[in-house]
Structure 1
Amino acid sequence: MTLQQAAAQDETGDVQALLGRMTEAWNAGDAAAFAGQFTDEAAFVSWQGNRDSGRAAIEASHRLLFAGPLKGARMDEDGDSTVEITFLAPDVALVVVDEVRVSNSPTALVITLTAVRRGGRWRFASFQNTRKTAEATVTVTAG
């Protein structure tokens, strides 16, 4: 393994750890910890198309959600889920998580995030999730 490969593995691990912290905060219903995984200016778009602009708005909306319709809900990756991390630049990663399930919904989600590293710390600058439908079974990749 080269030094570059080792560094890439470390960075991938750092982004995976960020994703893990976000999931743990969601599962704990901790809006402050959940929002803490995002940049100050992050964009959060829900599957319904609602948009939160900034960490404070993400925290406020999730505080309401975790106290209301998402109380006790857990975010779990399905056994068939995949996590793809693609580095667009040394400090920017595209993260796609397929087949995420929230315990209070029978529908799987696809979550797309942008992770950025600032001051040595990774955080998410964007989050968007989409509900999968039965028709959404084809994935096209360039090849």
Structure 2
Amino acid sequence: MSEEITRLVERMTETWNAGDSAAYAGLFTEDADYITFFGLHLRGRKAIEETHRALFETSVKLAEGGPAPLVRPLTDDVALVIAGGSSSVAGVPDPSRESVVTLTALRTPEGWRFASFQNSRVRKP
């Protein structure tokens, strides 16, 4: 379970950086809840794809690598996932863009998909 979900998290970065909004949205369930760092609540795979299509035309890219996500199984078919991340704009890393992301991974007939996503900026003291 953990390896499959870790790979799903890696695919988020890969599809984001490739600018592939359909593949990115395909990592989520049809009825996923997706909450951005500024509080926008997207409902469903279609909304995730449409919103990210425009975003992917910008120069925002996700940092690759980094620590492995924490995967905490809740049942055989559901897991809590906590991952860290950061991004750059026009190739310039920006520490103020560091985030912690909380996801719910769900085993579906399509394989593991994310049913929820919550992105929060990391606050430095």
- TM norm structure 2: 0.89
Corresponding residue SS for 1:103: strand
How many residues are paired up?
A: 120
| Percentage identity across paired residues of the two chains | 43
Matched-pair contact (CA < 8 Å) for 2:32–2:116: yes
Structure 1 residue runs without a partner (length 5+): 1-10, 136-143
Q: Which has the higher contact order (CA 8 A, sep 6+)?
A: 2
Q: Over aligned residue pairs, what C-alpha RMSD do you find?
A: 1.5
> Who is 1:89 aligned against?
75
CA distance in 1, matches of 2:5, 2:21: 20
Structure 2 residue runs without a partner (length 5+): none
Post-superposition CA distance 1:11-64 (Å, at most 9, x none)? 111111111111100111111110000000000000000010000000000011
Matched-pair contact (CA < 8 Å) for 1:101–1:109: yes
CA distance in 2, matches of 1:133, 1:85: 23
Corresponding residue SS for 2:95: coil
CA distance in 2, matches of 1:133, 1:35: 28
> Who is 2:99 aligned against?
109
Alignment partner for residue 72 of structure 1, among 49, 59, 62? Answer: 59
Residues 91, 120 of structure 1: CA spacing in aligned structure 2 closer, same or farther, 3 A cutoff? farther
Corresponding residue SS for 2:11: helix
CA distance in 1, matches of 2:4, 2:59: 27
- TM norm structure 1: 0.78
Amino acid at match of 2:62: M
Counterparts of residues 26-105 of structure 1 (less than 5 Å): 26-67=16-57, 71-76=58-63, 79=66, 81-98=67-84, 100-104=85-89, 105=94
Alignment partner for residue 124 of structure 1, among 87, 91, 114? Answer: 114
